[in-house]
Amino acid sequence: MPETISFARGAPSLDIIDVEGLRGAAGRAFANDPGGLTAYGTSVGYPPLRAWIAERHGVGPECVLVTNGSMQADAFLFDALVAPGDSVIVERPTYDRTLLSLRNRGADVRMVELEPDGIDVAALERVLTAGANPTLAHIIPNFQNPAGYTLSVDKRERLLELARARGFTIFEDDPYVALRFEGQQLPSIFSMDGETVVYASSFSKTVCPGIRVGYLVGAEDMIATIAKIATSTYISPSMVSQGIVYEFCRSGALERSIEMVKTALRERAATLCAALRHELPDARFVEPQGGYFLWVELPRGTDVDALFTAAAGRGVVFVKGSEFVLEGGDSSLRLAYSGVTPAEIEEGIKRLADAYAEIEAVGAPAA
């Protein structure tokens, strides 16, 4: 069997990580602030990085908490806001780990359909009118995982109105924001209302995932509450990781890294869209304007379980759409183009199209 081509993992390939930049940042970090890097910190994170993030978001440092990766930030926020039985709104489809994390907490997860311009706000309103009383709505506004869709400005505003009227918090989970390779940057929901919204992002997509640095931005009292939870969980996050990220950011390496990543992603997304149109014309999708993911809908009745197996047999993997919903999603799949080169994409989509032809030949009567 040929080497497997993976469209499965939302992670960058090594060629778009600035390893030399990281190595240099590590050396400078230990040289410039040996005490700050090596001593225990506090749970709010490495102070210079905290201040740097705060400035970028136009808030005071007391509104920022820097964590070991943004999943950990999510976990702290859920610890603070989600009790068993609490209603939580999520997009349908949404990130599978968020779904699992909420279900593990006993949350009553309510999925609201995601459209190409973001969550269906009218449908959300109907859910609320029907009696849902959520504590939280989890929203991935830009280049959503798994769909790649972006929430429009109009919907950002309407969503915020609903949250204010109904008294729930919007958790704006925004790890991909810096990776826009087409179109105009949109204002964050947090920038419209820093009380109703808690914002999370990460350096996983702009520096590297293995450094595990993410963060929350929110109202001062919310951040103080979460800082207490963080203290009793781990005293402080890695000062070494955060010190390296800080040096990487302030040296300008971050901006260069983002440009390199965006250039690669633009090419990969374009290659993927072209390959799908050419090899798999049954695939319906929206061209992403940034991020890592493309969501593919195949004709209704397509057995994506069977497609997964047939594709794996040809050395190509993806994540089934059903992983990102509570039920259904049977004819959809997520393709991540962040970790594959254009040549791999072309070859991988050929294999996927072969697998599709095979299951269509076998499965036609069932469709």
Binding residues for its own copies, per CB under 8 A?
9, 11, 14, 17, 19, 22-23, 26-27, 30-31, 34-41, 68-69, 71-72, 75, 97, 100-101, 104, 204, 208-212, 232-241, 243-244
Cis amide bond preceding 299, omega within 30 = no
- Nearest distance from C-beta of residue 260 to its own copies, angstroms: 14
Task: Name which of 67 and 289 has its Cβ closer to its own copies.
Answer: 67
User: Among 182, 163, 186, which Cα is nearest to 174's?
Assistant: 186
Amino acid making up residue 255? E
- Nearest distance from C-beta of residue 83 to its own copies, angstroms: 13
Task: Name which of 71 and 216 has its Cβ closer to its own copies.
Answer: 71
Sequence-ordered list of residues with C-beta below 8 angstroms from that of 105, at least 6 positions apart, any chain: 78, 82, 83, 84
- Nearest distance from C-beta of residue 72 to its own copies, angstroms: 4
Task: Name which of 209 and 342 has its Cβ closer to its own copies.
Answer: 209
Task: Name which of 73 and 197 has its Cβ closer to its own copies.
Answer: 73
Task: Name which of 97 and 126 has its Cβ closer to its own copies.
Answer: 97
What are the helix (H) ranges across the chain? 19-32, 34-38, 47-57, 70-81, 96-104, 121-129, 153-166, 189-192, 220-234, 239-250, 253-279, 304-313, 342-363
Cβ atoms < 10 Å from Cβ of 177? 22
- Nearest distance from C-beta of residue 156 to its own copies, angstroms: 28
What does the alpha-carbon distance between residue 221 and residue 46 come to, in Å, rounded to a whole number?
A: 19
- Nearest distance from C-beta of residue 366 to its own copies, angstroms: 35
Task: Name which of 238 and 331 has its Cβ closer to its own copies.
Answer: 238
What does the alpha-carbon distance between residue 365 and residue 362 come to, in Å, rounded to a whole number?
A: 8
Q: Are 123 and 112 in contact (CB under 8 A)?
A: yes
Beta strand pairing call for 169-173 and 136-139? parallel
Sequence-ordered list of residues with C-beta below 8 angstroms from that of 339, at least 6 positions apart, any chain: 6, 9, 11, 12, 13
User: Among 196, 194, 115, 197, which Cα is nearest to 152's?
Assistant: 115
- Nearest distance from C-beta of residue 261 to its own copies, angstroms: 13
Task: Name which of 189 and 264 has its Cβ closer to its own copies.
Answer: 264
- Nearest distance from C-beta of residue 229 to its own copies, angstroms: 9
Q: What does the chain come to in residues?
A: 367
- Nearest distance from C-beta of residue 247 to its own copies, angstroms: 11
Task: Name which of 85 and 183 has its Cβ closer to its own copies.
Answer: 85
Please report how the helices 342-363 and 304-313 are oriented relative to each other, as an axis angle in degrees rounded to 10.
120
